[in-house]
Amino acid sequence: MTSTNSALEPEIKQLREVRHGFLRLHKALLDAERETYEQHFGKIQTNGDFFQLVISHEWFNWLRPMSQFIVQVDELLDDKDAIAAGQIHDLMQQAQQLLKASEEGTLTEQRYDQAIQRSPDIAFMHAALLNSLK
């Protein structure tokens, strides 16, 4: 790490923690959405079938921005020497936006709110992530 980026080490550490929280939350949301999907449409036979649904079925569209966020963080962290403070700040703001849940907001915010209401584990992860962004 360059001396310029050593000053960013606390922010990079926080970004790694946020990434880890998003990975856990994303997995829990995928599991919860799979269960709900199967209640409506029947059992998904294989993990390969599930993967195809996640990347192509409209049921899972609302989770794609979170998937893309995780990829963006990974790409940034892969090149630690090129990280700028503004990039970390932008990702933290994006994380805040992704954690918006609302009964009356966008479709994504509504679906996220429903997932939080259905699962205490998801609600806990949501709260922990919000807290880590402070």
pLDDT in tens, 47-84: 999 999 999 999 999 999 999 999 999 999 998 778 99
> In which domain, by residue range, is 97 found?
3-132
Listed in sequence order, the DSSP H helices in the chain are 3-6, 9-41, 47-56, 64-78, 85-98, 107-118, 120-132
Tell me how many domains the chain contains: 1
Which pLDDT value is given to residue 59? 96
Phi and psi of 33, rounded to 5°? -70, -35
Which pLDDT value is given to residue 2? 45
CB 119 within 8 A of CB 28: yes
Residues (pLDDT < 50) of the chain are 1-4
Which pLDDT value is given to residue 79? 85
